[in-house]
Structures are given as structure tokens and as C-alpha cells.
Amino acid sequence: MFQRCIFGAGLLQALIGLHLLGGNLPLLEPVPETVKEPVVDSYFGTQVTDNYRWLENLQDPNVRRWAETQNAHAERYLKALPDRTRLAAQIKELISSTPPSISMLTISKGDIFAIKTDPSKQQPFLVFLSSTDRQAIEKTVCDPNSIDPSGRTSIDWFVPSHDARLVAVSLSKDGSEDGNLYFFDVATGKQYPDVLTRVQYPTGGGSAAWNRDSTAIYYTRYPHPGERPAEDLHFYQQVYLHRIGTSESEDVYAIGRDFPKIAEVSLQSREDSDFVVATVANGDGGDFAHFVGGPDKNWNQLTHFEDKVKKGELGPQSMFYAISLADAPHGKVVRYQLRKTSDNTTIVSSGDGVIENIALTDNRLLVHLLQGGPSALYIYTLDGTDQKIAPIPQICNVSAVVTGKDLALVDITSYTERSKWLIYDTTGNSLSPAAFNTKSPVNFDDLTVTRVFAVSKDGTRVPLNIVHKKGLDLNGDNPTILYGYGGYGLSETPRVFLPLRAWYDLGGIYVDTNLRGGGEFGEEWHKQGSLTNKQNVFDDFAACAQYLINNKYTSVSELGMLGGSNGGLLMGAMIVQHPGLMKAVVSEAGIYDSLRSELEPNGLFNTTEFGSVKDPAQFKALYAYSPYHHVVDGAIYPAILLTAGLNDGRVAAHNSFKFLARLQSAAANSKNPILLRVNSFGHGFGNSLDQEVNDWTDVFSFFDYELKEGANQRAKSHAAGR
């Protein structure tokens, strides 16, 4: 019954002539025509037809075969691109030749636990470091490469015990982020028999926190089969307590039955405290509540969603420090005394910068500020006095601040320098490199970074960060990748991707944008790009593209756009709203059917960010920009590469399937490729080394050809009647 996928009459002939036409022109094969099976939905009196609903059933063998056919079609085109083989080799060398590095540091009892990335291995692994010194002892605690040599098992997150004797590790397969919790002995690397199932799933995530004496662990638990209907098994997160050495069936419920269906729970504890804090997000919209478990094992609610209290840290002397937006849109730091009262005291007042994160030692409060994208780091005593500004470079990003009792480590990066860890001296207000930093052989000294502002449709100034080789001629003739995200209050901050070295070597420009919907200028900036204001994000990005063209960084024929996930929605909106503003688009794991996305397990978490079709005003906004519903028959669309992961638990692959089918139908006679790459991983988390190399190669070879040679070669070919 594979009649749903009907091949164009010229496909066999095209396959026979798969070699490059015109010397180096990748073949534009006729694409399979996807059968339409209309389904009509009604929303508040508006009738909406969905011709490709059948593609939503990813378990249907017909859908799988359709995806395989589309993937094979894209693969043939991409593998025929000029210079692809050389690019793939360079990208693999860039990633593989990089020295091992560490990330996701956690300090326990003065020891350091971290994820180590060795480019020669398929997956990062968990290591123990005895100190920040060069003489530090390093040992591997959990190595997914040994557990699963295929490279398809990865670490989601880990939590060392307070006595640094055990570490709890969430492991999942195939990039699914569907994780179980395992326990490893730090000294020997031996795995304990305890296994806790269903602790992690996107986007609700998962978390764990040890009790004070490290004999038991609180952890997030999703419903087990039979406890709730099948459609609810990835919701209703609760917190349970597990005692090491006992069966999972003996675990005790702690809290969570009254949490929202779309709760996302994060747990934390300290070795010197009997308190456990559960931070509960109400989906992805940015509202949080906090609950505290005390020495008596009872749980009390500390803050409510409407209190506008965000991230927090459990501190010494049973204090809880948190970022509050109450009467402070850029944030202030408040402190709660957990033993006495839930009343809070303002420790650090709101200022010009946006408070992004806080961290605590036993005697210092470190406050990470965002200044529209770049970072600053302020240091205070625990009562909010004795302010100091840490001497970090300008236009850099503080990726992480990790603290122990008397140790503070700061991870900084920029658009031209890889991540490096610095030890902060709280006494002398100085920073010195940690011994475990490694020097990268990849050099970015020949690049320059320019930060400018575009003016959006409503007059809002939107930052662009433009990276290119020094001495670039602004003649409007430079291939350019414009990247954007703009959502969830997540900030786009300076950072370097080593594979971008290949793009710069091709003479390309890379541009990072700080769109509304992010958190670069605080919660107001976020809210101006969420729910019924989402169109502002698309207008901001279009303004950034126009700025680059007007100021002769590039031209329409040499401008490419890149985004993924929420940024994929942005790419979809650009394709349908401004098809003549760019030459090529790569959109990775995007959300394209805005009317159906909330029906997916992860989609429901997103309703606090995007809105719901159940609300009339929100439906109107969603339908107004939903990319899938605004493809126009006969329109001229740019060259398009969509990607999707079959195990993606965050954005269902059928978003890409349906959008591609609609685009191919509408642009049946297009001279530009409209392609779909499908992989067997997930949303990008847990990808193997091989998959990462392949993905970057697809992106840069596609942009390199489409922004340089593609248009000219195809024009010549069609002019010659070929």
C-alpha cells in the first residue's frame, strides 16, 4: 500500500544520469509526489484543511518508506555537491583534532566531576578530577563508549553524592533523551545494581538530589505504565526517594501529585543542609514555583508561579537565594531563611544588566549579568555588600559558574575563542586558568567581531553579531549565514563552534542575532517574542537580513539562513513570509505546523511559550504565522534543506515531513532544491561523532554551493536547454 508515494515520470531517467550535469552541477531530480489525504479541522469557525495528516503516524510503514525515499533523494543531491568530500574531511579533522575538553562541571567535597569530550570517541564520558592542579588525579567513572560501542548511548546528566563516593547518571539511547538513572562507584567505576526507570524525558527533563548523608537520592519520576493512560506517560512528573541498595519498587513518594501536568522539576541539595529544594517550571513559558523539603520530611511551598521568582540556589546556613522579577524586570537577588520564615530580603537590586544566573560559595555570591548578549560577572558577600566586578574580557560569554565551599570556577567563551575554565580568587578579585584547559589547534585570530543594531518593523533595535575574516571587502558579494533562535527566554550569547572554521575558510560570514523571544534584555524582551507576540521574532530576523544587505555585507543571492527547533519555526516563517529575502535556508528539527504541535507530548509543554489553539486569540496568532499553512502554490522559494530525527522527543519529525510535502507540491517546477534529511537520532542531544560531522558537512556544503555556484550554474544549464 505504498501508493501514497508516487514517483515522477522522469525519475528513472534522472537516476541513470546521476552524474553532475554541466560538469559540477548537482542533479535536481524530480521529487516523489506525495499523495494528499485531506482532513478538515474547525477552530472557532475557521475551517483548516490538512492534506498531509497521514504523515504524522511515524509508526506507519508507508510513512517510514516515504521518509526513506525523501532522505535518499536528499542524500544523492548533497553527496554530489562540489567540494563536499574535502569539506567533510576538514570538518572531521576540526572536531577530531581538538584536544579533549571538559564541561558540565560539578564540585562535590572539593572534588570535581565533569563530562569529558574526547573527539576520537563517539560519545562524551564522565570523569573525576581530584583538583584544578596539573597534578590532579583523573579517572573515568562512566563511559558510554564502553557500555555501548555503537556510540548510540549517551549521558543526559549526572549528580555526584555529597561524600563523592557515588554518582548517579541518567543514560539514554539514540538521542531520545528517554533516560533511566544508574549508579556508579567513583573509586572503581563499578555499576551498582540499582536502576531507576523513567526519570528523564524531553522536554520535562529530569533531575536528582542526594540526601545529606548520601544514603538516599530524591529523583524525578514519570508515571509507569498502568499508573496513567498511555498518552499521559510523559507528563505528571513527581519526586520520589530511593535508598541505595534497595529495589525501585520500595521507593517512596515525596511530592508532585499537585504539580501541573506540564511540570518540569529540578532538584538540589547541599552536604551541609537537611533541606531539599524542588524548582517547578510550569512548562516552558518561564514561570516557576519552589518547594522545600525539610528535616521532618514534610514539603512546603516557598514561592508560587505568580511570584515571579526564577532560578535559585540553596546556600549555606539554610538560606535560599533566587532571582526575582517582581518589580524588577531585569532581575534582583532575594534571600529566604528556610528555617524561620518564607519572607524574602532583597540582597542585590535590579540594575541595567539582566541577571542571568547566580552561584554561591560559603562566603561569596556570584551574579552573572547579561548585557544584551555579552556577559559581566559581579561578586558580592552573602549579604549583598562589597561589590566587585570580575575582570573578564569584553564581548564574551560566561557559559557557567561552578562553585564549591571555597572554590569558584568560571567558564568563558567568545565568538573567536573556545571555552576555557578560570579559577576565581575571591580575595584578590582575579582570574587564573585552570590546569585542565587545553589549547586548541584551531585558530580564530584572523577573525573580527562587529556588534551592530538593525531596526525592526516596530522600531525596536535588534543586535547582530557579525563574524568574518579581517579585511573583508563590503561589496555585497560575500556568502553569509544568518543564524537565529528567539524563544523561551534563552539568550544567544558569544560562543565558538569549531566547524565554523571551515565556513570562514570558504570566505563566509557568520552572523548571530539577539532576537526578541530570548532573554538578552530581560523578561520583557522574552515576552515581546512569545505567545501572541511571536511575529515580532520573525520581523526582527527579517530586519537583520535587510541590514546585512543594505550595508553590503552580502546580497539576497548570497544570503543563507540557519536555525533549529524554535529557530526552525523561525526559518519556516522566513520561507513563507519573505521567500525573496534569501537564497538558501537550512532548518533543523523545526516546528512548522503550529496548530498541531501541542498534541505531541513535548508540544504541550510549549503552550506556555507559543499558546494554544484552544484559546481564540492565541489560535488567531498561531494560524497567522504557522509556516505549514502559509505555503503558496506557484511561489518561488529559496533552496531549502530540512532535517529531522526519528527519535526526536522534543519536535516530532512529522513537522518536517508535512512541511516538506507542502513545499514540494507548491513549488513543483522550482529550479531550487527542496530537501529533507532524516536521521535515526533525536533532537541533536546525544548525537555520535559521525552524525555530528555529517550534519555540519551537509550545512556548509549546501550553503557553499547554493550561495556561490548554485544559482549561476542552474541559470546556465537552463539557458542551454539542459
Residue 683 vs residue 370, higher pLDDT:
370
pLDDT tens sequence across 382-412? 999 999 999 987 778 888 899 988 889 999 8
- Give the least confident one: 52-56, 207-211, 271-275, 401-405: 401-405
For residue 10, the model assigns a pLDDT of: 34
| Per-residue pLDDT at 681 | 64
Cα(42)–Cα(49) distance, rounded to whole angstroms?
Answer: 9
Report the C-alpha gap between 434 and 107 in whole angstroms.
14
Provide the grid cell at 641.
Answer: 534543506
Give 505-537 pLDDT, tens digit per residue: 999 999 999 999 999 998 999 999 999 999 999
* C-alpha span between 472 and 558 (Å, rounded): 15
Q: What percent of the chain has pLDDT over 70?
A: 93
Average pLDDT over residues 156-168: 96
Cα separation, 155 vs 16, in Å, equals 44
User: SS3 letters for 275-339?
Assistant: CEEEEEEECCCCCEEEEEECCCCCEEEEECHHHCEEEEEECHHHEEEEEECCCCCCCEEEEEECC
Res 135: pLDDT? 65
pLDDT band at 16 (very low <50, low <70, confident <90, very high): very low
Which of 119, 120, 159, 122 lies closest to 141, judged by CA? Answer: 159
The pLDDT assigned to 18 comes to: 32
Exposed/middle/buried for residue 40 (C-beta within 10 Å: 0-12, 13-18, 19+): exposed
Q: What is the pLDDT of residues 52-70, one digit of tens each?
A: 999 999 899 999 999 999 9
User: Per-residue confidence at 627, pLDDT binned at 50, 70, 90?
Assistant: very high
- pLDDT at residue 23 tops 60: no
The phi-psi region of residue 258 (left if phi > 0; otherwise alpha if psi is between -120 and 50; otherwise beta) is alpha
| Whether the predicted pLDDT of 283 surpasses 80 | yes
Q: Which residue, 260, 303, 262, is CA-closest to 284?
A: 262
Per-residue confidence band for 181, with pLDDT thresholds at 50, 70 and 90: very high
Task: Report residue 680's pLDDT band, with 50, 70 and 90 as the boundaries.
Answer: low
Class of domain 445-716: alpha beta
Question: Residue 554 has what pLDDT?
Answer: 96
> In the predicted model, what is the mean pLDDT of residues 39-57?
97
pLDDT of res. 417: 86
Collapse the DSSP code of 131 into the 3-class scheme (helix H, G, I; strand E, B; otherwise coil) and give the result: coil
For position 684, what pLDDT does the model report?
54
- Segment among 127-141, 566-580, 678-692 with least mean pLDDT: 678-692
What is the predicted pLDDT for the residue at 222?
Answer: 96
The helix/strand/coil state of 478 is coil
* Per-residue pLDDT, 134: 66
Which strands, in side-by-side order, build the sheet including 263-269? 263-269, 276-282, 288-293, 299-303
Return the pLDDT at 502. Answer: 95
From start to end of 484-531, where are the E strands? 509-513
Q: What is the pLDDT of residue 650?
A: 74
pLDDT surpassing 60 at residue 12: no
Give 9's pLDDT tier (boundaries 50, 70, 90). very low
Interacting residues of 498 by C-beta distance below 8 A, sequence separation 6+: 94, 95, 98, 418, 440, 442
- Please give the Cα distance from 548 to 316 (Å, whole number): 50
Q: What's residue 21's pLDDT?
A: 34
Cell of 403: 562553585
In the structure grid, which three cell numbers stand for residue 406, read together?
A: 571555597
pLDDT for the residue 286: 85
pLDDT, tens digit, 9 for 90 and up, residues 648-660: 767 888 999 999 9
Average pLDDT over residues 152-162: 95
Q: Helix, strand, coil proportions of the chain in percent (round to 5)?
A: 25, 35, 40
Q: Which three cell numbers stand for residue 128?
A: 573525576
pLDDT tens for 217-235 read: 999 999 999 999 999 999 9
pLDDT number for residue 344? 87
Closest by CA position to 155, among listed 131, 184, 134, 194: 184
Grid-cell match 535536481, residue found: 28
Residue at 87: amino acid letter = L
The pLDDT of residue 252: 97
Mean pLDDT taken over the chain: 89
> Stretch 333-349: mean pLDDT, rounded?
88
**Higher-scoring residue by pLDDT: 372, 321:** 321
What fold does the segment set 101-353 form as a domain?
Methylamine Dehydrogenase; Chain H (2.130.10)
Distance in angstroms (rounded) separating the CA atoms of residues 375 and 356: 9
What pLDDT is stored for residue 34 in this prediction?
95
Q: Is the pLDDT of residue 5 over 70?
A: no
Q: What is the pLDDT of residues 448-502, one digit of tens each?
A: 999 999 999 999 999 999 999 999 999 999 999 999 999 999 999 888 888 999 9
Q: What is the pLDDT of residues 550-567, one digit of tens each?
A: 999 999 999 999 999 999
When pLDDT is cut at 50, 70 and 90, the band that residue 689 belongs to is confident
Tell me the pairing of strands 639-645 and 674-679. parallel
Percentage of the residues of the chain whose pLDDT score is greater than 90: 68
**Average of pLDDT values for 182-205?**
94
pLDDT reading at 722 higher than 70: no
| CA dist., res. 611 & res. 561, Å (int) | 25
Cell triple for residue 169?
547518571
Q: What is the pLDDT of residue 2?
A: 28
Best CA proximity match to 479, nearest among 671, 157, 701? 701
Cell numbers standing for residue 714: 542552474
